[in-house]
Amino acid sequence: MIVGIKQRAADILTKSNAVLLPEDRYTNMKYPKLIPMMRFRVDRYNVPGFGHVMMMHTTTKMGMELITMSFMPSECIDLPYLLLDAMSMKKKRCVFVEYYGCGMEELTDDALKDVYDDFRDLPDYEEKDNWYVKERMPYSLIKTGEADELVKMASDSVSAYLGSVRNTKFMPEYKERLRAFRERMITDGNPSSKTLNMLLKEDGARTFMETVIMPLKEG
């Protein structure tokens, strides 16, 4: 399932004229370094007219496989921030399509709501409560079910999201909202906090959030 989601997302990015960035020190990581139990592959893209996309594919010795995709509208267009997480382990599967408006009232989201309507009847995945759950837009999808349905839900969400870029407008005031939300993701915690702190230590995890997961243009 995870490979299917990753490949479809990569195909959609290619059709969106995304530019794959060169490999760097974050591209291939492992933990622990001597006898790795977890391996991480990080790919990053610049998307013209939108901003930055990161895909982190995690494989583990325990048989768990995950992918995290961060869609950061760093061009300050009026799309919500999208965080897409998927996990597969034996018969357990889930996909989180999480939209965050960061306090902005008017965002381009009609196509995102249409995808929500298509998949709203899939079984909900029971998650632990956290501060960011309350910050999500109501058309976010937190689902479990059959692998093919979840792959389609993820790929349809990515396609609708990137397809909406052409209908957006520039909102310079959005930048500080995104920055404040990113800071809260760092200080109050996010779904990847424990993993990133383990892998990169606290200061390294902050740098990773600010430069790889949710970068913003300075100035």
pLDDT in tens, 58-115: 999 999 999 999 999 999 999 999 999 999 999 999 999 999 999 998 899 999 999 9
In a domain, 127, yes or no: yes
Residues 181-209 pLDDT 10s: 999 999 999 989 999 999 999 999 999 99
Indicate whether 218 pLDDT > 80: no
Q: Which residues pair with 60 in a beta bridge?
A: 38
Residues 117-164 pLDDT 10s: 999 999 999 999 999 999 999 999 999 999 999 999 999 999 999 999
In a domain, 115, yes or no: yes
In a domain, 197, yes or no: no
In a domain, 199, yes or no: no
In a domain, 213, yes or no: no
Per-residue confidence (pLDDT) for residue 105, from 0 to 100: 82
What does the block give as tokens for 200?
């990169």
What percent of the chain is predicted at pLDDT more than 70?
100
CB 31 within 8 A of CB 192: no
Distance (Å, whole) CA 143 – CA 97: 8
Name the pTM for this structure: 0.97
Pairing, β 51-60 against β 141-143: unpaired
Q: Could you tell me the residue range of the domain that residue 33 belongs to?
A: 2-173
In a domain, 141, yes or no: yes
Q: What are the Cα distances from residue 212, in Å, to 88, 96, 108, 122?
A: 24, 20, 24, 32
Per-residue confidence (pLDDT) for residue 112, from 0 to 100: 98
Specify the number of domains making up the chain: 1
- At a CB cut-off of 8 Å and minimum separation 6, what does 36 contact? 30, 61
Task: Tell me the residue type at 210.
Answer: E
Per-residue confidence (pLDDT) for residue 219, from 0 to 100: 58
In a domain, 82, yes or no: yes
